[in-house]
Amino acid sequence: MWPETASPTHAFNPPPAYDHALVLGLVKVSLPSEGIAYRFNHRFFGLAGWNDVSWWRCSRCGQVTHMNLRGVCPSYRCEGHLRPCDPQQEFAASHYAQLYRSLRPLRMVVDEHTAQLTGEAAAELQEKFVRNEVNVLSCSTTFELGVDVGELEAVFLRNMPPETANYVQRAGRAGRRTDSTAFALTFCQRRSHDLSYFQQPETMIAGKIRPPQLELANDKILRRHIHAVALNYLFQRQQQFFGKVESFIFPKQGNETGAAALRQLLSQHPPDLLNALSRIVPAAMHEGIGLKEWAWLRELLDENDGSLTKAEASVLEDVERLEEERRRLFDSGKAVDHILKVIRTIKTDDLIGFLANHNVLPKYGFPVDVVGLMLHGDKARRLTLERDLRIAIAEYAPDGQVVAGGYLWTSRAIKRVPKLEWPRYHYAVCNECGRYHSARYETDEQPHTCQCGAPLLEAKKRGKFLVPLFGFQTDVSEKPKCPSEARPGRSYASRVFFAQEGEPVETVELQLRGVHARACFSRNGRLAIINRSGFWVCEQCGFATRGERPGDHKAPWVMERGNKCRSPLHRWDLGHEFRTDLLELRLQGAALARAEEFWLSLLYALLEGASVALGIRRQDLDGCLYPYAGPASPPALVLFDDVPGGAGHARRIGQNLMEVFRAACERIDGRCGCGGGPNGPGDTSCYGCLRNYRNQWAHERLKRGEAWRSLKEAAG
């Protein structure tokens, strides 16, 4: 029953049909695995000064409060009554009251520092922070790279980092001066990763950091370094092409482009360039790359599929379409300044950064299959939004929202490039055995029957997808919005599917106790990831949207909403097939369990064991199950390098298989303390054995008991 008055001086008259949560200033929220909960709505609360409220003191317990409900003391079971009091006298000896009254309030100036900023914008923001013009930075993982921001004293982490190395780098931003004291506060969210380290924080704070390893024979990275040497060869001889995008792609009238000049220069196969590349490229890679035959030029300068050709075509198309829109608006007597600014932004972009972003030159670190979200307007000048294609098909997909530079940007289209087409595929995942199949869309040869005999045309997961190879873009007529408290909208991609073994390199076979193990290492193994949200896509202008099919649409580069595109919309998923080094491990033995939970647990046990035994960074490894012999037979465990192009980790695992088995057995032997019995570990798992940040989807299915007993029996 509600009281008639909320305080001696404020009337309270709730409506006849009221919502308790609304009256109390609460809002409903839905928590995963928890259901409906309530939290306070901050809009119902205000900040009052020291002298703006009345103060009261209990006649019995002496508690001082500014809350008075009919004179009842708020202390539990206290029978005293509240009497007016003077806060100056009551808090005269209080240290915190003195601080409140004497300290000068500081103005908080908050800004965002992420990888979405251009290099110049990030450096400018760091200088402002050092000069105290900005005194609070909201940062992404960019500050793990050793950025020195001066006398930083406090760091707040909004979630638990993936590994100890991440924690040390993030918390280590504070206290870098000898005369300062560091304070690092980590907020643990309600998810298994964060809560596991909340219970045992020392495993994160004082954990081990393994040294990284580098595979020099990475084909993709090596080719981009070759491209860098070739372009440097051009710039040394024809310096007019170096500098901005305009100087390379938009030369003065009558002059050839930088790509044409490079093609002409390299067509002569200069011996000095070949000698330089021969010293740089490992000898074992000469034949595969086609160094002496100059076959590597095709990937750079091929008229249809060369990386430099595609980069040049992409920017030419952007400027051509913008120029068409500028002429149309000008002929209609409308303002065109905004179009000119976008064109100027494109042309004055730094050439080296542009080529790196378009997969021509090497970038700092991974990934290498990079696409961007093209932004429009003055607010986009400081931003460069890029993601690995595996992540971009979820985060940058049409109707997806991204917060960058203090604004909310919405993806509206899949970027088109003239004379080039999106790679398109039919795909199906077998209902019976889970095999992934794909075929080129242009051939119209849909996968019909799986190797297990099941009809693929009845598969639940089937359809067609396109690869957004040229990235995504916002609508030129749509201004970015201010972010709200709601989480930005986005679609989601599925887990990784195993598609193809690749090129076999070597095979290792082991006869263990009751188990026969066959490990086949291959290069350029193919895997796939699909965003099955279903998009209505215009194959002419690139417009795309989820949900209901719209009645009409406009091209994303057209300013006026009334100017519609007449091309039809077709239904597509988004997908990406990528290649890397992988190890296919097949285990045969009567003692092996058949349940999928067992194979998932065994897979992640071997991944953890390989990381410990061989000193491989756990984030550089991943795996999946491959039911090569049908649903009734044990699946293969596919362990792959989670680095585009491969880093040689899978091969090392195959060469040290017995050591990996023993390390995996030790990893899940029960020392982590997540439960067990007299016969060994039970059907449990934790972050000390099988769970990690990226396999949260399978946490409830990971049970180390059976996996431990099988490994112990096999490895001895």
| pLDDT tens, position by position, 620-657 | 888 888 877 766 678 889 998 877 666 778 888 988 88
Burial class (CB in 10 A: 0-12, 13-18, 19+), 110: exposed
Q: Is residue 575 within 8 Å of 610, Cβ to Cβ? A: no
Output DSSP code: residue 241: G
What was the pLDDT predicted at 34? 65
More confident residue, 668 or 262: 262
Query: Would you kindly state where each structural domain of the chain is located, as residue ranges?
Result: 5-102, 110-205, 219-365, 467-715
Q: Find the mean pLDDT for residues 595-614.
A: 87
Pairing of strands 461-466, 569-588: parallel
As a whole number of angstroms, the distance between CA 27 and CA 253 comes to 63
Helix axes 307-331, 258-266, angle to 10 degrees: 160
Least confident among 468-482, 519-533, 666-680: 666-680
Q: What is the DSSP string of 268-330?
A: T--HHHHHHHHHHS-GGGHHHHTTTTTTTHHHHH-TTT-HHHHHHHHHHHHHHHHHHHHHHHH
For residue 149, pLDDT over 80 is answered with no
In this structure, which amino acid lies at residue 502? G
The number of beta carbons lying within 10 Å of the beta carbon of residue 349 is: 17
Distance CA 465, CA 529 (A): 10
16-25, 202-211, 337-346: which range is least confident on average? 16-25
Length of the chain: 716
- Summarize pLDDT for 332-388 with one digit per residue, the tens: 888 777 678 768 877 887 788 788 767 788 765 445 577 889 888 778 878 888 888
**Distance between CA 48 and CA 50 in Å, rounded?**
7
pLDDT at position 496? 79
> Is residue 9 over pLDDT 60?
no
The pLDDT assigned to 232 comes to: 93
Percentage of the residues of the chain whose pLDDT score is greater than 90: 18
| pLDDT for res 3 | 35
Q: From 3.30.110.30, 3.40.50.300, 3.40.50.2300, 3.40.710.10, which CATH number describes the 110-205 domain?
A: 3.40.50.300
Structure tokens at 461: 């997961």
Residue 40 clears pLDDT 50, i.e. is over it: yes
Identify the DSSP state of 396. S
Q: Among 92-101, 169-178, 294-303, 515-524, where is mean pLDDT lowest?
A: 169-178
Look up residue 183 and give its two tokens: 């304070």
User: Comparing C-alpha atoms, which of 398, 556, 375 is closest to residue 466?
Assistant: 398
The neighbour count for residue 279, using CB atoms within 10 Å, is: 6
Question: d(Cα 106, Cα 581) in Å, to the nearest integer?
Answer: 54
Cβ atoms 594, 695 nearer than 8 A: no
Mean pLDDT score, 220-229: 86
Q: How far apart are the first and last CA of the chain?
A: 69
On average, the pLDDT of the chain sits at 81
Name the DSSP class of 117. B
pLDDT at 5 over 50: no
- Asked if the model's pLDDT at residue 181 lies above 80, the reply is no
Q: Band of the pLDDT at 437, cuts 50, 70, 90?
A: confident
pLDDT confidence of residue 15: 42
**Does residue 157 surpass a pLDDT of 70?**
yes
